[in-house]
Amino acid sequence: MLFILPRYAWGDGSYRYAQLTALLEQGAMPDAKYSMIGPILSAPLWLGGRLFGAEEWWCLRYNAFLLIGGVTFFYLALRSRVPRRLLRTFILLLVFGSMFPYHQLWYYGEVFTAILVMTGTIAILIDKVRLGWFTVVIAVASTPATLPALTLLTAHRIWDSRRLRWALAVLAAVTLVMLESWIRRGSPFNTGYDINYGRRTIMPFSGLPGFSYPIFFGLLSLTLSFGKGLLFFAPGLFLPVRSRLKELAGRCKRFDPVAAYELWMAFAIGLILTYATYWSWSGSTFWGPRYLLFASVPASFVLAVRVFRPGTAIGADVITVVALTMSLWAGLNGAVFGDVDTIKVCWPDGKGLYEAPLCYYTPEFSALWYPFVENKVLTTGQQIYLLYGLAVAAYLMWRPVMCLARRAAGLLAPAVVRARTVRW
């Protein structure tokens, strides 16, 4: 993953890299809208790369290192508290069967926020409370639009623990956001997003500024659209799992899986409600629902739990296998095929007027399904990753598929016996 897949310096990631370079080379404090909290922590990679004339090469692997560090912390923190097979399944899904494989190829900021919120909440639940809240606050301050999601997460934690002090986390995050704005732009209220809107296209609500998109249409698009919908990119998010989590709690030591799931879901719901009103809810040409990367965390956890504890009905197992297949394909698709030729496919007019109806809502032009429409020539590294990813997928699919096959055989056995008694 670190060395064989092509990486991309483009879009918001290139702006963040330019800001970091200006700061480290010239000592110039950038006043652009993107937070510097995440990029500044990649400064050791930039400085180390400078020794070999490869600053960009190393910085483009920053998100991969964050992902590796996040799952390593997750494993070390919970290996004596949670069944190992469940941990292994969750980590493999997160690394190979989620939206993370694509995001880690870039220098965007969503991986930083998602990984720190995931690890921070785990730290909170294993009694590393101060470290956990500090990590979550840093994560949210690096993406100010996630403040509503933090508010929901904090409110849920207050309700569970009956401790009002956790509200200080929201105050701390707001303070950090305002402090960065003050230092970089001269005013705590100058976020840099004062002039923030998109181009006017054939879509009826295009061209609106800020968070003014109709939430009804935003929710429909972020959940159900073929090119950006979570139903296709993180299907585990929509599956019931609470009863299985309660059963699982008896096998966990000093860790509450129900609390972890609920905190993650609270944050994910906050993100969905917030970005459903954003003029660029889609993340534009970026693969999948860009701003909802964190949804992969609870979605992968749900699938891992459902694989670990099969249901009592064959229908539930069928749903698990289908969702698992879709999630694994999303991970492989993102890492290997990615955005396809966006300009050619989504911008046939060169202006993006038809990008939304083509690539957000039409299944044939969705990044997930376009590889079945037009073949893409893969690099050697992509071919190697595809084969390895398919092997991981086979490993993860084996147990639930065999369980489903045994149940199906049991249901079909009476019909087979009866069929054998049929005579001319």
- Per-residue pLDDT of 382-408, as tens digits, reads 999 999 999 999 999 999 999 888 888
Structure tokens at 400: 């639930």
**Rounded mean pLDDT of 320-347?**
87
Domain assignment of residue 5, yes or no: no
Reported confidence tier of residue 289, pLDDT bands at 50, 70, 90: very high
**DSSP label of 204:** T
Higher pLDDT, 424 or 64: 64
| Torsion sign across C-alpha atoms 358, 364, 368, 374 | negative
Burial (CB count within 10 angstroms: exposed 0-12, middle 13-18, buried 19+), residue 70:
buried
Reported confidence tier of residue 342, pLDDT bands at 50, 70, 90: low
Length of the chain: 424
Domain of 33 in residue numbering reads as: 11-182+225-412
- pLDDT value at position 410? 82
Domain assignment of residue 419, yes or no: no
pTM of structure = 0.94
- pLDDT value at position 340? 60
Highest mean pLDDT, choosing among 7-11, 132-136, 197-201, 401-405 = 132-136
Domain assignment of residue 216, yes or no: no
**Rounded mean pLDDT of 361-384?**
90
Burial (CB count within 10 angstroms: exposed 0-12, middle 13-18, buried 19+), residue 410:
exposed
Contact assessment for residue 139 and residue 267, using Cβ atoms and an 8 Å cutoff: no
Q: Helices in 337-379 by DSSP H: which ranges? A: 342-346, 355
**Rounded mean pLDDT of 139-158?**
97
- pLDDT value at position 341? 61
Residue 197's SS3 state is strand
- In whole angstroms, what is the distance from residue 185 CA to residue 208 CA? 24
Q: How far apart are the two ends of the chain, measured CA to CA in Å?
A: 61
Reported confidence tier of residue 53, pLDDT bands at 50, 70, 90: confident
Domain assignment of residue 24, yes or no: yes
Contact assessment for residue 169 and residue 160, using Cβ atoms and an 8 Å cutoff: no
- In whole angstroms, what is the distance from residue 391 CA to residue 345 CA? 31
Domain assignment of residue 200, yes or no: no
Domain assignment of residue 207, yes or no: no
Task: Say how many CA atoms lie within 13 Å of 243 toward its Cβ.
Answer: 6
Domain assignment of residue 56, yes or no: yes
Q: How many domains does the chain have?
A: 1
Mean pLDDT rounded to a whole number for the chain: 92
The fraction of the chain above a pLDDT of 90, given in percent, is 70
Domain assignment of residue 199, yes or no: no
